[in-house]
C-alpha cells in the first residue's frame, strides 16, 4: 500500500484538530463554589465551611476536564499554558489557607500543638505542582484532601475535643495578611504588562532601615509578552480560589464580622473577586496600551485585584480595632 504525502498531511491535520478541540475543552474554567456547597450539613459546626472550601477547591482542580494538567508531559496538555497557570494560582491560595489553618485556625494559643492531620495535609499540598513521576502531584494532593477530610470529621465529632477550629478576629487577620501580599503581588505583575518606571520604595518609612545590597532609585518593570497570558490566568486562578475561601469565611466568621460591623467589607471583597471571573470573550489575552484602541485584559484584571486588595486592607483594619 502506497502512502502518499497527501494522506500523511491529512492524518497530521486531523490529529492537530483533535488536539486543539481537546485543549479547548480542557481549558474551560471550573465554576466557583456555591454557599449551599459550603453549608451542606445539619450541624452548625464552626470551621466546616472553611475546611470544606479548601477540600472542594483542591478536588475541583484535580477532577475538572483533563484533570491536573500542570505536570502532564504528553500532547496536547504539554502545549497548554493557560490552564496550568490557572491551576498554579489557585494552588498557591490553597497552600496559604492550609498553612494558616495549621498555624492559626486550629490552635487556641501560641503554646498549643499543631493538628497532626493539618500538618501532614499542608506538607502534601506543598509538593511541586509539576511533579509527575514519584511522587506525582495528583496523588500527593489527593492524600492531602483525605487528611483534611479526617480533620473535618474529627472537628465535627462532639466527643472529640482534639480537633478544633477557632473563629477569632486575630486568627482571621493572620490569613488576611497573607491574602494582602498575594493580591499586591498579582496587581503589580498584571500592571507590568504595559511596562512602567517603578520607584524604589523598599526602605520607605524608616530612616534606619538597611538592605543587603543597594538598588537603583528606579527601574523599568515589564512583563515579557511570552508571559502576559500566564500572569493573567494565574491571577484568575488565584482569584477563583480566593473567592471560594471568602464565601466560606463569611459563614464561619459571621459572628466576628457582625461584632466588628465588617460584613459589608467582606461582601465588597467578594464582589470584586466575582468580577475577576467574568467571561473572557477574546480568544487571546490582549495587551493594548493604557488608553489605546485595543483592550488590555491585564490592566482590567489588575483593577479588580487592586480594589479587592484595598477592601482586604479595610477589613484588616476593622478587625484590628477593639
At 26-67, the pLDDT tens digits run 889 999 998 888 886 656 799 999 999 999 999 999 999 999
Query: 43 lies in which domain range?
Result: 33-196+219-321
* 5 located within any domain: no
Instruction: Report the alpha-carbon angle 116-117-120, nearest 5.
Output: 85
* 3 located within any domain: no
Q: State mean pLDDT over 168-196.
A: 91
Give the pLDDT band (50/70/90) at residue 77: confident
Across the chain, mean pLDDT equals 88
* 1 located within any domain: no
* 182 located within any domain: yes
Q: Tell me the CA distances in angstroms from 144 to 14, 27, 49, 87, 94, one per residue in order.
A: 40, 25, 17, 16, 11
Q: Is 199 helix (H, G, I), strand (E, B) or coil?
A: strand
* 192 located within any domain: yes
Instruction: Report the alpha-carbon angle 250-255-260, nearest 5.
Output: 95
Q: Tell me the CA distances in angstroms from 132 to 43, 85, 107, 186, 230, one per residue in order.
A: 39, 16, 34, 27, 21
* 275 located within any domain: yes
In sequence order, the 6+-apart residues with CB closer than 8 A to the CB of 179 are 96, 242, 312
Q: State mean pLDDT over 242-265.
A: 95
List the alpha helices (DSSP H) in the chain. Answer: 5-26, 35-38, 48-63, 82-100, 116-125, 137-156, 169-191, 228-252, 254-259, 263-275, 297-320
Residues in the chain: 322
The answer to whether residues 79 and 35 touch, using CB atoms and an 8 Å cutoff, is no
Instruction: Give me the sign of the Cα torsion angle 171, 202, 309, 276.
Output: negative
* 28 located within any domain: no
* 44 located within any domain: yes
Residue 195's region, left for phi above 0, alpha for psi from -120 to 50, else beta, is: left
The span from the CA of 17 to the CA of 202, in Å, is: 50
Q: Tell me the CA distances in angstroms from 246 to 6, 54, 84, one per residue in order.
A: 56, 11, 23
Which pLDDT score is estimated for 11? 83
Which pLDDT score is estimated for 140? 96
Which pLDDT score is estimated for 166? 94
Instruction: Report the alpha-carbon angle 249-39-279, nearest 5.
Output: 70
The 10s digit of each residue's pLDDT in 115-132 is: 999 999 999 999 999 998
Among all chains, which residue has been given the C-alpha cell 482590567?
A: 300
Which pLDDT score is estimated for 220? 57
The span from the CA of 284 to the CA of 27, in Å, is: 13
In sequence order, the 6+-apart residues with CB closer than 8 A to the CB of 71 are 129, 130, 131, 132, 136, 137, 138
The tally of domains found in the chain comes to 1
Which pLDDT score is estimated for 68? 94
The answer to whether residues 275 and 304 touch, using CB atoms and an 8 Å cutoff, is yes
Taking the chain, what is the end-to-end CA distance rounded to the nearest angstrom? 85
Give the pLDDT band (50/70/90) at residue 7: confident
Amino acid at each position: 500500500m502506497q502512502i502518499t504525502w497527501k494522506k500523511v498531511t491529512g492524518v497530521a491535520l486531523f490529529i492537530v484538530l483533535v488536539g486543539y478541540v481537546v485543549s479547548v475543552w480542557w481549558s474551560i474554567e471550573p465554576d466557583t463554589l456555591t454557599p449551599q456547597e459550603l453549608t451542606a450539613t445539619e450541624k452548625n459546626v464552626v470551621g466546616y465551611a472553611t475546611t470544606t472550601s479548601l477540600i472542594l477547591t483542591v478536588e475541583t482542580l484535580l477532577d475538572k476536564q483533563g484533570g491536573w494538567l500542570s505536570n502532564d508531559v504528553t500532547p496536547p496538555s504539554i502545549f497548554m499554558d493557560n490552564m496550568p497557570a490557572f491551576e498554579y494560582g489557585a494552588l498557591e491560595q490553597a497552600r496559604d489557607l492550609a498553612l494558616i489553618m495549621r498555624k492559626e485556625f486550629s490552635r487556641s494559643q501560641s503554646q498549643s500543638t499543631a493538628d497532626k492531620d493539618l500538618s501532614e495535609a499542608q506538607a502534601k499540598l506543598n509538593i511541586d505542582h509539576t511533579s509527575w513521576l514519584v511522587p506525582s502531584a495528583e496523588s500527593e494532593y489527593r492524600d492531602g484532601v483525605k487528611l483534611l477530610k479526617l480533620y473535618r470529621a474529627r472537628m465535627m465529632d462532639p466527643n472529640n475535643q482534639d480537633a478544633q477550629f477557632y473563629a477569632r478576629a486575630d486568627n482571621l487577620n493572620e490569613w488576611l495578611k497573607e491574602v494582602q501580599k498575594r493580591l499586591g503581588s498579582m496587581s503589580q505583575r498584571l500592571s507590568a504588562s504595559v511596562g512602567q518606571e517603578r520607584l524604589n520604595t523598599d526602605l520607605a518609612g524608616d530612616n534606619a532601615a538597611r538592605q543587603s545590597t543597594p538598588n537603583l532609585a528606579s527601574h523599568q518593570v515589564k512583563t515579557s509578552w511570552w508571559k502576559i497570558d500566564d500572569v493573567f490566568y494565574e491571577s484568575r486562578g488565584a482569584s477563583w480560589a480566593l473567592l471560594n475561601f471568602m464565601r466560606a469565611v463569611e459563614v464561619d466568621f459571621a459572628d466576628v464580622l457582625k461584632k466588628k460591623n465588617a460584613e459589608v467589607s467582606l461582601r465588597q471583597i467578594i464582589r470584586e473577586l466575582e468580577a475577576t471571573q467574568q467571561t473572557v470573550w477574546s480568544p487571546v489575552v490582549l495587551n493594548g496600551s493604557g488608553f489605546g484602541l485595543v483592550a488590555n485584559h491585564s490592566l482590567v484584571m489588575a483593577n479588580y485585584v487592586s480594589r479587592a486588595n484595598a477592601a482586604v486592607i479595610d477589613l484588616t483594619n476593622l478587625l484590628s480595632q477593639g
